[in-house]
């Protein structure tokens, strides 16, 4: 049921902004640090050569630039390409339609996607190594008189609809006894929200890094940090049902996920190169990329029972708040790709 009390300025976003093919063996740099990753899979699975996998790059997360830098897919027995998305909900929709095979999103897009009965599954968790560092915040402009979450009553909050920042806004309001009808949620994609925030058309903005970090650097102030118990610091990998149902394709997709987890594990241990990759991919200054990475240290693991419970609690809160119209069963949309005990933070490099 659509809430008529919310002021909706815009909700649509393009499914993908860019798509670049990265073919196996595409790097001419034999010194790329991960160019020999997955040699066993390359040698044992020639049947994977018929596949081309599309990876959803959520908001310029550095995955494509890191793939080129590290050479992690150079010897893969399949081809890989990347499709850029502005934020999570359209990425989940693309996974459901089969336009992409795999991508990482925040905690809310799987919920809103499942409520719309999209065909996808949560297949892994990007678990924060720095759970005391917020990856998103509710920020207010320089000079704002708002001091606490309670001050958001009756105020205009820019929110990317169906995103993790949407969940942060709802939970922040709920934490002080307010509901979505007590504030004016202005549904805007990140680019439009930045304009509204900078021109005073909204009073606050619920948004992730690097946008949050850049705004704070330019004078904005954090009103509410996106930290437990009002926000998760983990994100989730989602995959298309089409790729998961075929046994051979599923096995190859698991290899894709392991290679992605390997490039990020390497990146965490090489923060300067990671920042450069993020700066290049997002077209932002290197200093801003470094600031946003402060909370971006993650380890990829299977989905655990506690993750499902957290997501279920959030899904129920969205239903209660009228943000979705169908009850979501999180367990039914979870399908682990990784073996029990897998933890990318334990990977080693030569």
Closest among 91, 105, 85 to 165, alpha carbons compared: 105
Check whether residue 115 and residue 179 sit in a common domain. no
239 shares its domain with 221: no
pLDDT at 29: 53
Asked if the model's pLDDT at residue 316 lies above 50, the reply is: yes
What pLDDT score does 342 carry?
A: 97
State how far the Cα of 191 lies from the Cα of 188, in Å rounded to an integer. Answer: 8
pLDDT mean over 317-324: 94
**Residues 256, 342: one domain?**
yes
Q: What domain range is 186 assigned to? A: 136-225
Quote the pLDDT of residue 9: 27
Is the pLDDT reported for residue 293 higher than 50? yes
Out of 170, 203, 225, a domain closes at: 225
Flag whether 13 is in a domain.
Answer: no
Q: Are residues 126 and 147 in the same domain?
A: no
Based on the fold, state whether residues 274 and 311 are members of the same structural domain.
Answer: yes
pLDDT tens per residue across span 128-153: 888 888 989 999 999 999 999 999 99
Residues 259 and 206 in one domain: no
Find the length of the chain.
350
Let me know whether 75 and 145 are in one domain.
no
Examine the fold and report which residue of 189, 205, 225 is the final residue of a domain before the chain moves on.
225
Distance in angstroms (rounded) separating the CA atoms of residues 152 and 2: 21
> Do 113 and 144 fall within a single domain?
no
Q: Say what the pLDDT of residue 41 is.
A: 63
CB-neighbour burial class of residue 210 (10 A; exposed 0-12, middle 13-18, buried 19+): buried
Question: Is 318 a member of any domain?
Answer: yes
Residues 218 and 287 in one domain: no
* pLDDT value for 19: 43
Split into its structural domains, the chain has a count of 2
For residue 22, the model assigns a pLDDT of 44
Q: In this structure, are 126 and 140 located in the same domain?
A: no
Task: Please check the confidence at residue 74 and state whether its pLDDT lies above 80.
Answer: yes
Residues 93-131: tens digit of each pLDDT:
999 999 999 999 999 999 999 999 999 999 999 998 888
Assess if residue 6 is contained within a domain. no
Domain end point (choices 192, 225, 258): 225
Report pLDDT digits (tens) over 8-64.
223 333 333 344 444 444 444 557 889 887 655 656 899 999 999 999 988 767 888
Buried b (16+ CB within 10 A) or exposed e, 280-293: bbbebeeebbbbbb
- The answer to whether residue 24 is domain-embedded is yes
Residues 62 and 204 in one domain: no
pLDDT above 50: residue 249: yes
- The CATH number for 148's domain is 3.40.190.10
């Amino acid at each position: 049921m659509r809430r008529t009390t919310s002021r909706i300025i815009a909700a649509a976003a393009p499914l993908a902004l860019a798509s670049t093919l990265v073919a196996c063996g595409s790097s001419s740099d034999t010194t790329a640090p991960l160019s020999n990753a997955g040699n066993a899979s390359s040698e044992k699975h020639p049947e994977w050569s018929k596949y081309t996998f599309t990876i959803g790059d959520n908001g310029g997360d550095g995955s494509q630039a890191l793939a080129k830098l590290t050479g992690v897919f150079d010897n893969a027995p399949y081809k890989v390409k990347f499709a850029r998305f502005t934020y999570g909900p359209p990425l989940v929709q693309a996974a459901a339609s089969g336009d992409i095979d795999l991508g990482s999103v925040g905690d809310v897009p799987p919920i809103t996607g499942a409520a719309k009965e999209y065909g996808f599954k949560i297949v892994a968790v990007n678990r924060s190594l720095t759970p005391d560092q917020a990856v998103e915040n509710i920020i207010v402009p320089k000079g704002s008189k708002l001091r606490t979450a309670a001050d958001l009553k009756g105020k205009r909050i820019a929110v990317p609809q169906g995103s993790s920042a949407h969940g942060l806004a709802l939970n922040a309001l709920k934490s002080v006894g307010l509901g979505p009808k007590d504030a004016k949620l202005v549904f805007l994609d990140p680019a439009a929200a930045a304009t509204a925030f900078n021109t005073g058309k909204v009073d606050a903005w619920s948004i992730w890094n690097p946008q949050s970090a850049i705004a704070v650097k330019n004078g904005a102030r954090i009103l509410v940090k996106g930290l437990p118990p009002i926000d998760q610091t983990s994100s989730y990998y989602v995959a298309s049902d089409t790729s998961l149902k075929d046994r051979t394709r599923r096995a190859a997709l698991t290899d894709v996920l392991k290679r992605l987890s390997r490039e990020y594990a390497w990146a965490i241990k090489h923060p300067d190169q990671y920042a450069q990759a993020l700066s290049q991919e997002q077209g932002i200054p290197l200093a801003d990329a470094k600031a946003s990475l402060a909370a971006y240290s993650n380890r990829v693991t299977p989905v655990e029972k506690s993750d499902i419970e957290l997501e279920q609690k959030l899904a129920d809160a969205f239903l209660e708040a009228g943000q979705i119209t169908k009850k979501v069963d999180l367990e039914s949309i979870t399908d682990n790709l990784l073996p029990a005990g897998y933890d990318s933070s334990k990977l080693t490099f030569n």
